[in-house]
Amino acid sequence: MCGIVGTVGTLKGRSDPVGAALTVLVPRGPDAGGRIEGRLGAHEVVLGARRLALVDPAGGAQPIQRPSGALLIWNGEIYNHDRLRRQLEGRGEAFRTKSDGEVLAALLELDGVEGLGRIEGSYAFAFLGPGGGPLLLGRDPAGVRPLVYARSSNGLAFASTLDALLATGAVDADPDLDAIVDVLRDGMVPTTRTALCGVSRVPPGVVLAFDGELRPRPAQVPQPTRAGGRDEPEFPDVLQALRAAVRDRISVEKPCGVLLSGGIDSALIAAVCAEDQNIPAFTLSYPTDESADESLRARQTAKRLGLEHVVVPCPEDPTAWVLGAANAFDEPFADASAVPTWGLAHWVGQRVRVALSGTGGDEVFGGYRRYWLLGAGPWLRQVPRFLRETVSKVLQKRMPGGARLLRAADDPEGLYRGLLRLQPLDEVRQVLGPLLESVSDPEPRPGPTNAWEAMAEDLMRYLPDDLLVKEDRAFMAHSVEGRYPYLDGRVRRAARDLELQGSAGRGRQKQVLRAYVRDAVDPELARVAKHGFAFPVDEMYRGPLRGLAEDCLLGQRARERGFVSPAGARRLLSDHIHGARTVGQTLHALVMLELWARRVLDR
The per-residue pLDDT for 31 is: 94
Paired residues of 200 in beta bridges: 149, 193
Q: Average pLDDT for residues 457-461, to the nearest whole number?
A: 93
User: Who has greater pLDDT, 142 or 497?
Assistant: 142
Read off the pLDDT band of 46 (50, 70, 90): very high
User: Who has greater pLDDT, 542 or 415?
Assistant: 542
Model pTM above 0.85? yes
Q: CB under 8 Å to 480, separation ≥6 — which residues? A: 345, 348, 349, 352, 353, 354, 355
Output the CA torsion 39→45→51→55 (10° steps).
Answer: -20
The per-residue pLDDT for 160 is: 98
Q: Is 452 helix (H, G, I), strand (E, B) or coil?
A: helix
User: Who has greater pLDDT, 160 or 377?
Assistant: 160
Read off the pLDDT band of 227 (50, 70, 90): very low
Backbone phi, then psi, for 46, in 5-degree steps?
Answer: -125, 125
Q: ∠ CA 339-576-536 to the nearest 5 degrees?
A: 30
Q: pLDDT tens digits for 186-203?
A: 999 988 999 999 999 999
Paired residues of 471 in beta bridges: none
Ordered by where they begin, the domains of the chain are 2-220 (3.60.20.10), 238-367+454-527 (3.40.50.620)
Q: pLDDT tens digits for 253-267?
A: 899 999 999 889 999
Read off the pLDDT band of 502 (50, 70, 90): very low
Q: pLDDT tens digits for 289-338?
A: 887 888 999 999 999 999 999 999 999 999 999 999 999 999 999 999 99
Q: pLDDT tens digits for 561-593?
A: 999 999 999 999 999 999 888 889 999 999 999
